[in-house]
Amino acid sequence: MLTKQNIIEAQARIAPYIHTTPLLTSGQLNARCGNTIYLKSEHLQKTGAFKIRGAANKVTQAVADGANYVTAASSGNHGQAVAYIAQALGIKAKIVVPEDASACKVGAIEGYNSTVEKCGYLSSDRIPRAKAIAEAENGVFIPPYDDPLIMAGQGTIGLEILQQLDNIDAVIVPIGGGGLISGIATAIKESNPAIKVIGVEPVSANDTYLSLQNGAITAIAGTTTIADGLRTIQPGDCTFPVVQKYVDEIVLVSEEEIKEAFTFVLERMKQLIEPSSATVIAACMFNKLPFEGKNIVAVISGGNVDMADLSKIIKI
């Protein structure tokens, strides 16, 4: 099981490769939500998303163990992160993306001098392909979320939050495969168990919510949610036990709520965030949380949005 000590070690390992991201606030958002909301702004992170943290932790260890080539499977952000850290460390990378991966994310991966291969639409399509490439070409597969080093890297966000803010009542985190929330929850709960950790999923991508309800990993058939970073079909074998242990609750938000939250942040706060990030704002705005007058940190997981998709996301 992941521990806070693993995350402390990761924080030291990845420090040269990441930004410490700020906590942003908005008086209008606070008034709308009835709480004081702090946005942990990973959309301002290197590569535009939190994924660089886990990727840096995993790839630096792989290089230390002798690797000179890595592969990854990603809807975009994890791929960008692996490509970035591979370039920084002077090794080659190949990223397997879905057929409908956003142009901006593919362009960013290629901009870091990595090769891109398209394969299927679900993580169950591209992960086996990336693993097969790594095996055939003597490389190392870098998992998107279900790996202790990846989880520990993402957990450094939790340590930063605790270092940046003294009085915290809850931390709200979007859930895809669970690497982000499992890392953050471990850092938070092993530092201060009184702080609530709440996950957010789209209604149509509620695999972790169902898994918690059923007490076992439960897969969904698939999803086309606009929150493309959350399109996993089931939580990970490594991440789910941590979610069971440390996450207090998971709430669900609709596509229309995600759109309205996305539009609010863009219009009122002048911040471009991904629909996946907007899920946590939607949870705050639409009374999904059991809090009033509390200090809440909402983790904004990324900001890599394809401009061609804006018209589909903005609520007018």
Give catalytic residue positions. Answer: 51, 75
DSSP-assigned letters across all residues of 128-165: HHHHHHHHHTT-EEE-SSSSHHHHHHHHHHHHHHHHH-
Coil, strand, or helix at residue 44? helix
∠ CA 27-303-149, nearest 5°, is 110
Dist. CA 47–CA 105, nearest whole Å: 10
The dihedral formed by the CA atoms of 44, 47, 49 and 51, expressed in degrees to the nearest 10 = -140
Dist. CA 73–CA 67, nearest whole Å: 18
The dihedral formed by the CA atoms of 159, 160, 165 and 171, expressed in degrees to the nearest 10 = -70
Give the pair of three-digit tokens for residue 265. 């942040």
- Which alpha helices (DSSP H) does the chain contain, by range? 4-14, 27-33, 51-64, 77-89, 103-111, 123-136, 148-164, 179-189, 207-214, 239-246, 255-269, 275-285, 310-313
Dist. CA 3–CA 158, nearest whole Å: 12
Alpha carbon distance, N-terminus to C-terminus of the chain: 45
Paired with 301 in beta bridges are none
Bin 289: left if φ > 0, else alpha if -120 < ψ < 50, else beta: beta
Angle between helices 275-285 and 255-269 (to 10 degrees): 90
Which residues have CB under 8 Å from 301's CB, separation 6+? Answer: 42, 43, 49, 50, 77, 173, 174, 180, 229, 274, 276, 277
